[in-house]
Chain A
């Protein structure tokens, strides 16, 4: 039986900030016009700036049938209408996060300093939830 919702803190993995005139290849979240955070440590040749950012963000996987409903407690995104390859910046509760697709749900990344607070937020949100589905 599928979990209603599961929030799991992800192990640190390499992440690289790439500033470039064109979108770099691979999975990436545009964090500012012309700047992407990409998984891995690729160094595109045409980049203006490449920075190791593996320590800057902490990721959480939010998966399960009620992943959208859990996130809807703090995010104004219209999850049902997001593109299949959606990835972007958004606000969760009071903080800025990066969100992109993840197998079975979403990956939410916050700045490292907010990770403990966000973990607490997820725990409380899960505790408040008992109805099924979002709107």
Chain B
């Protein structure tokens, strides 16, 4: 193949690009592929599996071979714009694409058929596989990740329109011309340049990647303006015209993957758009009239044609006579049996009438014209059905689908694209029904793509990207992988760069013939978004503090200023883990904070806790329904620990519910489940119990929650001049005024000590927090983080829904049966809980564990085994070193755990087994005297 320029590069457009260490003259803005073709640089890649030399096949986004590496990552040479300084290199080869050491693999092709890893390298006993797996993994893969550290700048933008037109070809432009209604918003998007119609919004260099239900389209606009790498559009369209065109179908013959074998449409595009000839002696192989039309067009562009190989007899249309008059040989009833030379230097033609006659033709490029594969991806993404059209030998949209009308070549009407595009737009905009436009496939198409091989011929490929041959397809069918989806997964056909756009139909044709089926019976694979590869950055956040939402409490600034180590906790909140002093380790800080709570006073910021007001005449009945605990009999000013269950009877959430007034409750939930609780409250109120007169409002954000705890807590309050009622009982609540605003104080907490939980307006929280700390200084108060809280609650055996509520454990399993009032007629999860209670099957039960070595902290999550056998019985849910008790403690969920109390179990740890003794899950002040005060 000896490509050259049909027109010299204009001096002012001349740039130098680099490929594989060599410089090439390029026209600014043309593709790297055009530059390389013009320089006669034919071999630009190596294939994925066999490392065969490969060249450029297509023009634009559907190239299956020419992936190259740049500093920004990998890109198709056909989509990489030539610019000064562009530096690219071939991938998957060493030292280069023209000579690649791994090319030797092609000689061992017999060892590498479809499914080869499973049947070639997995010998008896599987001993060989680990070795070969390493070798295969080392050889697999193509390029490397970008070396640049600059994150891509990609904007996301929502947009709305009444009509979206995808594709600015003939059909798309005709559709756009129809969209002139006043007030109508129309978007026209195209992968390349997009004409400006005035009345439509044109999005050029924009690939529509996906169509989802409800008229949602995703589109990626490349480099919309300097400084922005891309823009991801989320377009909601009332209706759409899908004028996405079609991809020319390759032919299947031995050596059809050799550099110099290209699609006819690509050779034409390079000649017409880039003024580059792919070769000086082009041989065209076809099964339809487009081979002749293309030959004429190429000749007019100045490209030499050495002949046409037509599978048909007596065909070719009007163009044939003109070509014959100009002396172009027509080899009819023949096909290419084998391409010869690397790069292509000729072809051996074979007859299709069964005779053995062959003919050799010298050429430096082969153009394949096998008809067209409509790009029906967007139609299919949202579930649009396809139907096989025998005349077009293609799967086509079976009519419009959910507001999307396919048009033009994508609809099998490539020769009547304008009329079909205009019709589609009229229908999409609500126009009256119109008769269908007849199919217009490639003229005189013969439904045959594969040639009989010439003697001693090379491999014949159906998928260049995945290195899948026609023989692989037949082998897979013989081995039982004869459904299209199985075939795809077994051979990887359609799974490479072009996602099957050039290969799927030929793979299906070979499969159908192997099975003796018609193509429509063989079926097609499922098209899934995205249509083209997309940088991850288009969907993901570039990182930094905005990568996902984070929530702060009114006291976060205080925590950070005091050097707290902040942890990510549930529901996007960030909370202090611990407050290390200079030189203090986590363990030391945690022990100091625990000691403050047990011996003096601690204070922690519990603001993220879910908080709700439930009000109305039926508020009590409503809570009785939502909670497993009876709450309607609570007296005003009192609270109760309460459980919510899943529908399956297992624990969903816990918290304390206070009654503020006869028709008003204040409900707390866990932090992580606060949003889910709000949803559940709303669902129960609106759907399950609309008969109840109740309202539920989230006040999580309105109220900060400051918890003061420890034996000196009451002294600290007094010193801070905060005066809750002296007779406020354990689990009581009262309204007070703090910093001039109403607040609530409750006698509740999570540490097992005398605790006062103060719900204060968020904006008042910093002042009250400071006041308490100042007042508590004389008593040894310490701010306490979640690390210490974890230890304190383990010492008490209090459950944490995030640890012990594993989705399997029910309230009885966790020792919380006291909080279930099953005598209520109904509550969420009741029926399933009753079933659980009637089932004698063993259940996981919460127990305490004391490691045999009191200094050893059992790892959380570790499996708990029977002492006599390596059989899992449960796992450690929470574990700590307790300063108050001077030893390690753990909680665990173990099958029939209560029956094991007093016995030993084994805990699987890294590198062995640790012994542990099973005890009741309450280690510190089990009677609760300290918290009751």
Contact = CB atoms under 8 A, between A and B. Distances in A.
Interface of A: 12, 17, 19, 32-35, 48-49, 51-57, 69, 72-78, 80-81, 93-95, 111-114, 116-117, 120-121, 124-125, 128-131, 134-135
27 contacts: A12-B763, A19-B697, A32-B682, A32-B697, A34-B695, A35-B697, A48-B693, A49-B615, A53-B699, A55-B702, A55-B761, A55-B763, A56-B701, A69-B157, A72-B158, A76-B234, A77-B158, A94-B548, A116-B552, A117-B549, A117-B551, A128-B153, A130-B227, A134-B157, A135-B159, A135-B160, A135-B161
B774 interface: no
Contacts of B159: 72, 134-135
Nearest to A49: B615
Given A55-B701, A55-B761, A113-B573, 14 more contacts: A48-B695, A49-B613, A54-B763, A55-B763, A55-B764, A56-B701, A69-B157, A72-B157, A72-B159, A111-B701, A113-B701, A117-B550, A128-B153, A135-B201
Nearest to A121: B546
Given A72-B159, A76-B236, A19 B573 contact: no
B549 A95 contact: yes
B545 A120 contact: yes
B697 A17 contact: yes
Nearest to A72: B158
Nearest to A116: B552
A99 B119 CA distance: 61
Nearest to B553: A113
Nearest to A134: B159
A51 B699 contact: yes
A48 B686 CA distance: 16
B534 to A, nearest CB: 18
Interface string B693-708: 1010101111100000
B157, B550, B693, B703: most-surrounded residue (chain A CB, <10 A): B157
B422 interface: no
A81 B160 contact: yes
Interface in B548-581: 548-554, 572-573
A52, A81, A94, A128: most-surrounded residue (chain B CB, <10 A): A128
A21 B406 CA distance: 49
Nearest to B699: A51
B546 A135 contact: no
A117 B556 CA distance: 13
Contacts of B763: 12, 54-55
B616 interface: yes
Size bracket, chain B contacts? 35 or more
Contact of A117 (B236, B546, B686): B546
B932 interface: no
Interface string B198-234: 0001000000000000000000000011011000001
Contacts of B155: 73, 125, 128-129
Contacts of B699: 51, 53, 56
B32 to A, nearest CB: 28
B187 A135 contact: yes
Interface of B: 153, 155-161, 185, 187, 201, 224-225, 227-228, 234-236, 545-546, 548-554, 572-573, 608, 613, 615-616, 664, 682, 686, 693, 695, 697, 699-703, 742, 761-764
B405 to A, nearest CB: 21
Contacts of B554: 112
Nearest to A124: B546
A116 B572 CA distance: 13
A94 to B, nearest CB: 5
Nearest to B616: A48
Contacts of B764: 55
Given A76-B234, A113-B552, A135-B185, A48 B615 contact: yes
Given A94-B548, A113-B553, A51 B157 contact: no
Contacts of A93: 549
B690 to A, nearest CB: 10
A111 B610 CA distance: 13
Contacts of B697: 17, 19, 32, 35, 49, 51
Contacts of B158: 72-77
B201, B697, B700, B761: most-surrounded residue (chain A CB, <10 A): B697
A73 B157 contact: yes
A57 B224 contact: no
A91 B869 CA distance: 53
A100 to B, nearest CB: 18
A66 to B, nearest CB: 12
Contacts of A113: 551-553, 573, 608, 701
Contacts of A53: 699, 702
A9 to B, nearest CB: 14
A32 B762 CA distance: 22
Kindly list the 5 A-B residue pairs having the minimum CB-CB distance in the complex, ordered from nearest: A113-B551, A55-B762, A19-B695, A56-B701, A135-B159
A75 to B, nearest CB: 6
A131 B546 CA distance: 23
Contacts of A111: 551, 700-701
A54 B554 CA distance: 14
B156 A74 contact: yes
Nearest to B765: A55
Contact of B224 (A19, A69, A78, A131): A131
A55 B700 CA distance: 10
B160 A56 contact: no
A51 B613 contact: yes
A114 B462 CA distance: 53
Contacts of B761: 52, 54-55
Nearest to A115: B552
